[in-house]
Amino acid sequence: MARIRLVDPSEAQGRVREIFEEIESVRGPGRVPNLMRAYAHHLPSLESNWDRMKRLLKSGLLPTRTKEAIGLTMAALHKCGY
């Protein structure tokens, strides 16, 4: 199975570093999702997916933590390894 090396937030540079810092400002220190770390190899993918995730987490009536808990619950119900 092929593996994509995840970009370590401490090694990120330029725009990737800026996005990782923004992710941590929303999700908390050290909480850059592995998916975003994989997208970091292709900046347009990282930017568009972070923008989408940010809008989902910040909009609506439910708190961000509740939305994240729903995501974790759904992943567990579907036996998602991620």
> Once rounded to an integer, what is the mean pLDDT over residues 41-61?
93
Would you tell me how many other CB atoms lie within 10 Å of the CB of residue 82?
A: 6
Q: Domain tally for the chain?
A: 1
**pTM of the predicted model as reported, rounded to 2 decimal places:** 0.79
Domain-embedded: residue 61:
yes
Q: How many CB atoms lie within 10 A of CB 73?
A: 10
Does residue 3 lie in a domain region? no
Question: Is residue 9, in this structure, part of any structural domain at all?
Answer: no
Is residue 6 one of the residues assigned to a domain?
Answer: no
CB-based burial, 13-45: b 16+ in 10 Å, e otherwise: eeebeebbeebeeebeeeebeeebbbbbeeeee
Q: Does 69 map to a domain? A: yes
Average pLDDT, the chain: 91
d(CA 63, CA 68): 9
Indicate if the pLDDT at residue 81 is higher than 80.
no
In which domain, by residue range, is 38 found?
Answer: 14-77
Task: Note whether residue 52 is domain-resident.
Answer: yes
Residue 19 has pLDDT above 90, yes or no: yes
Higher-confidence residue of 52 and 79: namely 52
CB atoms within 10 A of CB 9: 20
User: 40 lies in a domain?
Assistant: yes
Instruction: Determine the pLDDT at residue 68.
Output: 86
Residue 82 maps to a domain? no
